[in-house]
Amino acid sequence: MIGRLIIRGIVRGISEGMDWTEDRARGVLTKVKLSRVEEESIQDQLRDERRVARAHTIGQVLRAGLNVVILAIWVLTVLSETGISVAPILASAGIVGVALGFGAQTVVRDLLAGLFILLEDQYGVGDVVDTGEATGLVEEVGLRTTRLRSLDGTVWFVPNGEIRRVGNMSQLYSRVFIEVRFAFDTDIDAARDAMLDAARMTRDNEDLKGAIIGEPEVAGVESMDYQSVMLRLLMQVKPLTQWTLMRAIRQNMRDLFLERDIHLAAPEGSLIQSGKDLEPNKAVLAKKRTPPARPAPQARTTATKAAPAKPAPKKR
């Protein structure tokens, strides 16, 4: 009971994340009947949500560890009550523990790595991470393994000690990242305005506008070659919403590019003709596609050949 209360207090402290000085200041303002206006920004809200998720993950691990300790104490208590001496068992357990320490170094490494993952808040349940070996949604974080579910539904169990680096795609905020290559002679200002308008159009969608945090940005030409220029759109959004927003923005870009006659870069070796240049070539194409007429078959005449004359017999 005491252990559960301690765990509950730890989880509550992590989830609330309030410093004791801030709590004391609030108490003073309450006593003198002064109200403080709190304008909570979106970043603060996301940080609070992150703390709650982290507290939930740490609480699960602490409760699992507490259950193991309670089970061990209960077993020892039952053995002692039945008259079985516990001292030899503890001595044997110590010897077995030393032997397992040499043979189970991998397990110990996984446990220590899992502990640091939780303390450093590298990722938690609900995050989308790339561990190198697997990429997916974190479903469970344990002291020894991390369970991921990839996009195709595959469940991956990754030992914590095998994780050399991890990329978290959903910590605090995410970012829309879209690169578009235009034809070399494209009006850069017109292309840039079209990309920004496509991003701003998502604010008109009731299902998407709440996921947008920052304003869209297109800095300028990011790269250039002899047949294309590349522009990049960036926009800060809430975690795990970047993929939905990128699909919507690409759809808006396509409609605006067609409406404003903005052309994308063609692959190398392609030949592009406009509609007016294509009309005169229709007759030529139709002529090329029409198979040539086959000549009429000629009547075959059979001629009878005369049999060769037999040579006259020689006179003797």
CA 305 to chain centre: 88
Whether residue 297 lies inside any domain: the answer is no
Say whether 98 sits in a helix, a strand or coil: helix
Q: In what order do the strands lie in the sheet with 135-141?
A: 155-159, 145-149, 135-141, 128-130, 167-168
90 and 36, same structural domain?
yes
Which residues have CB under 8 Å from 76's CB, separation 6+? 86, 89
15 and 89, same structural domain?
yes
Inter-residue contact 202 to 249 (CB < 8 Å): yes
Which residues have CB under 8 Å from 156's CB, separation 6+? 133, 134, 136, 147, 148, 149, 150
Whether residue 268 lies inside any domain: the answer is no
pLDDT value of residue 177: 95
Beta strand pairing call for 228-237 and 174-183: antiparallel
Burial class (CB in 10 A: 0-12, 13-18, 19+), 227: middle
Q: Which domain holds residue 210?
A: 174-259
Which residues have CB under 8 Å from 114's CB, separation 6+? 61, 141, 142, 143, 144, 145, 146, 160
Whether residue 285 lies inside any domain: the answer is no
pLDDT value of residue 175: 92
How far apart CA 195 and CA 250 sit, in angstroms, is 9
pLDDT value of residue 80: 74
Which among 230, 220, 189, 170 has a CA at the least distance from the CA of 49? 170
128 and 77, same structural domain?
no
| b/e map 136-153, b = 16+ CB within 10 Å | bbbeebbbbbbbbbeeee
Which residues have CB under 8 Å from 187's CB, separation 6+? 262
pLDDT value of residue 245: 95
Whether residue 78 lies inside any domain: the answer is yes
Token pair of 13 as six digits: 């402290």
187 and 90, same structural domain?
no
Whether residue 311 lies inside any domain: the answer is no
pLDDT value of residue 73: 75
pLDDT value of residue 284: 42
Q: What is the pTM of this model?
A: 0.59
Whether residue 17 lies inside any domain: the answer is yes
140 and 216, same structural domain?
no
> What distance, in Å, lies between the first and last C-alpha atoms of the chain?
147
Say whether 62 sits in a helix, a strand or coil: helix
How many domains in the chain?
3
- Written as one string, the DSSP assignment of 190-246 is HHHHHHHHHHHGGGG-TTTGGGB-S--B--SEEEE-SSEEEEEEEEEE-TT-HHHHH
pLDDT value of residue 79: 72
248-254 contact pairs (CB < 8 A, 24+): 248/202, 248/205, 248/208, 249/176, 249/178, 249/198, 249/199, 249/201, 249/202, 250/178, 250/198, 252/197, 252/198, 252/199, 252/201, 252/202, 253/178, 253/180, 253/194, 253/195, 253/198
Looking up residue 120, the CATH number of its domain turns out to be: 2.30.30.60
* The length of the chain, given as a count of residues: 316
pLDDT tens for the chain, 316 residues long, are: 666 666 566 656 655 654 444 445 445 445 444 444 343 466 566 666 666 666 666 676 677 777 777 777 777 777 777 777 667 766 666 666 666 666 667 777 888 888 888 878 888 888 899 998 889 999 988 888 999 999 899 999 999 988 989 999 888 889 999 999 999 999 999 999 999 999 999 988 888 888 998 899 999 899 998 889 999 999 999 988 999 999 999 999 999 999 999 999 987 655 555 554 444 444 444 544 455 556 555 555 544 555 555 555 555 4
